[in-house]
Structure 1
């Protein structure tokens, strides 16, 4: 496994190879290509935080703002020890494509803190989050750059950010700034259904794709890498439609059960363990290197980027890959999968349910409205279905793969915006 790790390209190299491939294919305007190849702003902050024992640690946080041609920057904040400027650049660029493809009035940003949150108490994580928010200062704002949850962050994290941000502005303006972040708890302006939106989008990708082929989810088998928010909700909805979860993998264990793993039982088991599926009694543990080679109909990488390398892709037998994570497939891995006639539903569509629901929450707060679960999920399903059909038409009309089709649609929208408004001065 160590040998394989050294072969992995950076996430930024992956997104740039995807962008350049698409730009060549669509003959993108050379000047717009220059603009979209780099980030507008890259913010690195170092900030001290007092720990429970009285000692002080200095943390490093990042926020990369890739492009805002279509609207305010939008993107998640992740707390993970793999967070660095390269990863933030890549993730911010993917967010630009994702928001554009979804037809949202947003640009793309991403960031986070280089940290393993399992090593810190709840009190320490709150202080780290609040100090990070303060360090970012005016680099974020409800009409400028709107963060959201990502890996190892959640609704509580967003509540701390919102409270800290609003505490730094005049009292009379605080009620007008609740949309500084999305993915908040319901009690502080969150949207019903936001928690499940990303996983629902992954599920709907599978359902719509199979329906287009005259097939159903019933009795289909799938495996999931990563059992956080996205992996859990995608599995939840797929199993409700009659599919069977054969295997789950995270950083600590790889579980398998031929008859199907109980999604809700595994969720109950893993939550108290801060996300670890290890030691789950109702499935067998298998070697991690066997995971991607399992016989199944659908693979859902919903963990970190660059997981499907050339070595891994050669093992894959599943005909359908749903990218629940951002950038889980590198260039060499994708080339092999396409050569083997596998279909990849790309991340910029497949996991876009989260940012679409974030837009709904942003609108809800901005307009002083309250949407119930049925309304928010209905709007989400409608938007995702429309976007799926647009990509599908592009695939069929141009005889291209799904990622290239999605990228062409996303980048074309931004190209049009630049052509129509021009470059200042």
Structure 2
């Protein structure tokens, strides 16, 4: 996945834009108020269970040693093991990890999975390191985390700037630290692994396919067709590409894209696979794609379109650019791309937002399938995976959409209410130790 420069976070001079932690807490409290969440459970869910910070040295290719800081925040495990990605990015810090871990708790609960929420990563820019250095960094980070992760305790997955290779390194390192008799039984310590190392066929497209499905379900609920719908995508990594791929296959037209390097536009349409192939030989960048024109970053969200898919980092749609967005639908491929202030403006303008904990939950659902596959010693075919994902996503979308209409609230609050009520039920049934 990709992101744009930090300028979107710093344009206002009157007051700072709220951070992700501020956003997730405001969203949580709003939903908790709506369902009249028990005060004691509100206290529990408003804080994290564990916060792990590790500092570890790694020898670079030139012989120098660098010390890195890694994070793993475990928010809640009332429903099952902690589950969530690891990202390698300069913006990784404890507050970001807290917010993302909380979102994972709500996301897993909403999807009906036996998981809690966790998140973490390393504060670094991976483009500055060789493949060998990244492998050593990853293995040393895994060793530093030790028993804070485990297949029945906390199960990491890929996120921004991490991938199946990263997960393979983590799995191998973790299994190497186990007693010989237990090593093969710990393969599901991570998900998102390569196909040949216990990975799930189709896991690479699960998140983007889930974004597409939510858009498809929304269109059906509104008696609309995706044919000739214009859409824009921020972030043309794994999520952005696959969401675009499936939308194009269903007749929609990609007209603008933004990534870390710049923005491009073509109102006549941008061929998704041609753009993807171009990025593979252009250091991952969309800039310079011959079948599109350069676009000022400031004008990306003002592009004429029906659907906007923010699939980069958090806090990209704010009070600054929300009034200028022309899309009728925001489908959140990223975690927390719309902050609270920006969302209020969009809702007041009648723009629908499919919230992140619903829209991009295909990733964690796919991870659950991989975890089950490893746990049971099975191998699932791609067609089976996609069929199961389609069914699971439809169940979640219908629950949220129906609850939203019944309660006359927006989709995000509806999704939060459903997710939090499931966790509340677990606490009520089990009680609180001691």
SS of structure 2 residue aligned to 1:291 = helix
Task: Describe how 1:280-319 pairs up with structure 2 within 5 A.
Answer: 280-319=289-328
Task: Describe how 1:108-127 pairs up with structure 2 within 5 A.
Answer: 108-127=117-136
Matched, 1:151 2:125: no
Whether the 8 Å contact between 1:161 and 1:181 is mirrored in structure 2 is yes
Rounded to whole Å, the distance in 2 between the matches of 1:78 and 1:279 is 27
Rounded to whole Å, the distance in 1 between the matches of 2:12 and 2:392 is 39
Q: CA deviation at 1:51?
A: 0.6
Matched, 1:259 2:268: yes
Q: TM-score under structure 2 normalisation?
A: 0.97
Whether the 8 Å contact between 1:306 and 1:328 is mirrored in structure 2 is yes
SS of structure 1 residue aligned to 2:333 = coil
Out of 22, 39, 49, which is 1:30 matched to? 39
Q: CA deviation at 1:245?
A: 0.2
Q: CA deviation at 1:286?
A: 1.1
Q: CA deviation at 1:282?
A: 1.6
Out of 366, 378, 384, which is 1:375 matched to? 384
Matched, 1:192 2:197: no
SS of structure 2 residue aligned to 1:278 = coil
Out of 72, 75, 78, which is 1:66 matched to? 75
Q: CA deviation at 1:8?
A: 2.1
**Aligned position for 1:3:** 11
**Aligned position for 2:147:** 138
Q: CA deviation at 1:274?
A: 4.2
Rounded to whole Å, the distance in 1 between the matches of 2:29 and 2:409 is 16
Q: TM-score under structure 1 normalisation?
A: 0.99
Out of 232, 245, 255, which is 1:223 matched to? 232
Out of 324, 332, 350, which is 1:323 matched to? 332
Rounded to whole Å, the distance in 2 between the matches of 1:108 and 1:403 is 18
Rounded to whole Å, the distance in 2 between the matches of 1:371 and 1:286 is 43
Unaligned runs of 5+ in 1: none
Whether the 8 Å contact between 1:118 and 1:274 is mirrored in structure 2 is no
SS of structure 1 residue aligned to 2:379 = coil
Give structure 1 regions of 4+ aligned residues with deviation exceeding 6 angstroms.
none
SS of structure 1 residue aligned to 2:392 = helix
Distance 1:117 1:273, change over 3 A: farther
Rounded to whole Å, the distance in 2 between the matches of 1:417 and 1:274 is 47
SS of structure 2 residue aligned to 1:311 = coil
**Aligned position for 1:275:** 284
Whether the 8 Å contact between 1:220 and 1:244 is mirrored in structure 2 is yes
Distance 1:4 1:283, change over 3 A: farther
Q: CA deviation at 1:122?
A: 0.4
**Aligned position for 1:93:** 102
**Aligned position for 1:411:** 420
**Aligned position for 1:399:** 408
Matched, 1:177 2:183: no
Q: CA deviation at 1:392?
A: 1.2
Out of 381, 387, 395, which is 2:396 matched to? 387
